[in-house]
Amino acid sequence: MKFTKMHSLGNDFIIINNIKNDFFFTKDIIQKLSNRYLGIGFDQLLLIESSFNSEIDFHYRIFNSDGNEVEQCGNGVRCLALYLEKKKLICRKKICVSTKNRVIYLQIISNNIISVNMGVPLFNPEDIPFITHSIKDTYKVYFQNKYIYFNVVSLGNPHCIIQVNDVSITPVSLIGSFLENHVFFPQRINVGFMQYIDVHNIKLRVFERGVGETNACGSGACAAVAIGIKKNILAKKVYVNLRGGIITINWKGNKNNLFMIGDANYIYDGKIIL
């Protein structure tokens, strides 16, 4: 099986051209491939398939390293755009792809910089999904003798955002693993820890469901900014400083589409025997 290893801000992927439906992946196979000591090693596997809609260029599927399929991957879709151009599967700078639950519009701006139209952020608990008795601006959960206050949003996949004073000393894995599988979240949750710097800058660490903490999370960056703008503490353009680098988010609020701009990087092509 041929594959391509790519990354964006240290969030790494393998991309496989499965347009001819040559490969079928079980959870066990994905877990073995994702193993960083005995396999290839990656946060997510991206599988390119044919589109059944003439207005959509490709369909693609996203699998976390635990083998579970998910709906969205902001960093991954930028790598996908660069892959399609590099492998000459498309000759346009504007690309349209579908995922498990939405259509995404991409634009290759220059070299390896890609803009992604992430759609309209969804805050309704049913859209997350998030189980609650009433809709509130901020929710809370009791953990280790104190309350954790959080907000929820979906950018095609579910996110819980917690504002913290200092991300460098926040127990990301401890709190993230607690919330990921909480009964509040029937499809599990990605947990973002946001540190406010000023109206144009935040720091962010993300605990991704089925993966753990990653160097960067594109949809998590979008989620944090969407929450910050909704709470009137962030401007319409925000630079998100993640462990792997900086990503730019633009959102005018309300029912407007949110845009993410960041890089994508090719690492190598390889072959592996399944």
91 included as an active-site residue? no
Asked if 264 and 82 touch (Cβ cutoff 8 Å), the reply is yes
- Of residues 79, 160, 217, 222, which has the active-site annotation? 217
> Apex CA 159: angle with CA 155 and CA 164, to 5°?
130
Q: Which two tokens stand for residue 153?
A: 């949003």
- Give the 3-state secondary structure of residue 222: helix
Residue 129 vs residues 184, 186, 206: alpha-carbon distances, Å: 8, 7, 19
Cα–Cα nearest to 261, from 46, 102, 110 = 110
3-state helix, strand, coil split of the chain in percent (to 5) is 20, 45, 40
Residue carrying structure tokens 């960067």: 216
Spot the catalytic one: 73, 79, 160, 222: 73
Q: Based on the residue annotation, tell me whether 73 is a catalytic residue of this protein.
A: yes
E strand map for 65-174: 69-70, 94-98, 103-110, 113-119, 139-143, 146-154, 158-164
Q: Please report which helix (H) or strand (E) contains residue 27, including its range.
A: helix 27-34
Are 123 and 152 contacting, i.e. CB atoms less than 8 angstroms apart?
yes
- Residue 51: how many other CB atoms lie within 10 Å: 17
Q: Is 58 helix (H, G, I), strand (E, B) or coil?
A: strand
Residue 97, classified by CB atoms within 10 Å of its CB into exposed (0-12), middle (13-18) or buried (19+), is buried
Give catalytic residue positions.
73, 217
